[in-house]
Amino acid sequence: MKRTAGEITEHVGGQLKGDPTLQISGVSPLSNSRSGTLSFITSTKFRKQLTSTTAALIILKESDSEFCPVDHIVVDDPYYAYARATALFINESVAGTIHPTAVINKSASIGKGVSLGAHAVVGHDVILAEGCSIGPGVVLGDGVEIGMNSIVNANVTIYANCRIGERAIIHSGAVIGADGFGFANHQDKWIKIHQLGKVVIGNDVEIGANTAIDRGAIDDTIIDDGVKLDNQIQIGHNCHIGAHTAIASSAAVAGSTIIGKNFAVGGLTGFFGHLEVADNVTLTAMSAVTRTIKSPGHYASGTPLQPYREWQKNFTRFKQLDEMSRKLKLLEKELKELKGN
């Protein structure tokens, strides 16, 4: 799929310095740019790569313009403009194509331009709004609702009565609305607590491959507008994930956790259940959230990487901290008594 420099400029909203009819065949990184492609620069430290680029068109700031040897688009935020430009080069499925092997319940409502892949299953009373794309092997349980122009990729399972907003992207293998991990212990046996809520997902949400979002036990599990979830994330039952939150791969959020807006989470982070997190919080990778976070800001936990011998010594000392603390308090007491005499 080719686009002209003029089309790209109009789409991203910048100033073109070059030929508007220039044909662009795709995108490439500045460090390994290819002829005929679009690239971008976000920092002055990459100017050496810029001056030797083989790309045909560059997105950049005005301050980098004089160093660019090829046609370019001047914008205030190159990374944002690049993100918008990538949408021009995706391969979209043919709208309105329904594979003959798709299984569609007669009570389902299929909107205009909906596409359904091979062996997709659409349950009783499902509502698919205009422009939805449902991939091969997708299973949509009874009563599922999916908003306009949403994309559900191959082999996704969405359990009964879950609701997905507009322009959602759900990647392969994701499971939406499975039972939460709820059991009552009675006489040393685990008794299942049936999960009676659902999952409600807002607009412009993206859910990564093999991510699982459990349905609520009583109330619903809620994913607000603009949330971005990476691959292989676990969201427990009754969680509420605030708008425009981004969570990196392999994080696990235990049940009934309430996360505020504009929350950014590094990979492999874990949350104890029944916690609350304020708006505008950032957590580094491998953090362990054991209590409520009431104030915005950056937080970290875990032990950063260090040479093994150094780590071994530090870990040994860590185990001695309690004993060292008791000795220190004893010494402080004795010193106080000596001063008193």
Identify whether 190 is part of a domain. yes
The answer to whether residues 277 and 336 belong to one domain is: no
Both 324 and 290 in one domain: the answer is no
Same domain, 264 and 223: yes
Domain C-terminal end among 48, 72, 89: 89
Residue 114 within a domain:
no
The pLDDT value recorded for residue 94 is 65
Q: Is the domain of 242 the same as that of 335?
A: no
Strand order across the 57-60 sheet: 15-17, 71-74, 57-60, 37-40, 26-27
Which amino acid would we find at residue 198? K
Q: Is the pLDDT of residue 305 over 90?
A: no
Residue 132: burial class (beta carbons within 10 Å; 0-12, 13-18, 19+): buried
| Tokens matching residue 330 | 């004893």
Q: Tell whether 160 and 240 lie within a shared domain.
A: yes
Domains in the chain, number: 3
Considering the domain architecture, whether residues 167 and 250 belong to the same structural domain is answered as yes
The CATH code of the domain that includes 15 is 3.40.1390.10
Distance CA 67, CA 122 (A): 55
168 and 206 in a common domain? yes
User: Is residue 117 in a domain?
Assistant: no
Q: Residues 146, 152: contact at Cβ < 8 Å? A: yes
Q: Helices marked H in the chain — which ranges?
A: 5-12, 47-51, 78-86, 308-319, 321-340
Domain match, 240 and 318 both: no
Let me know whether 317 and 222 are in one domain: no
Give the residue from 89, 103, 177, 88 showing the smallest Cα distance to 134: 103
For residue 93, name the pLDDT band (cuts at 50, 70, 90).
low
Q: Are 38 and 55 contacting, i.e. CB atoms less than 8 angstroms apart?
A: yes
**Could you tell me if 291 and 326 lie in one domain?**
no
What pTM, to 2 d.p., does this model score? Answer: 0.89
pLDDT band at residue 170 under the 50/70/90 scheme:
very high
312 with 295, same domain: the answer is no
Specify the 3-state DSSP secondary structure of 214: strand
pLDDT tens figures, 132-160: 999 999 999 999 999 999 999 999 999 99
Conformation bin of residue 262: beta by default, left when phi > 0, alpha when psi is -120 to 50: left
Q: Which domain holds residue 328?
A: 308-340
Q: Which residues are catalytic?
A: 237
Amino acid 282: pLDDT: 97
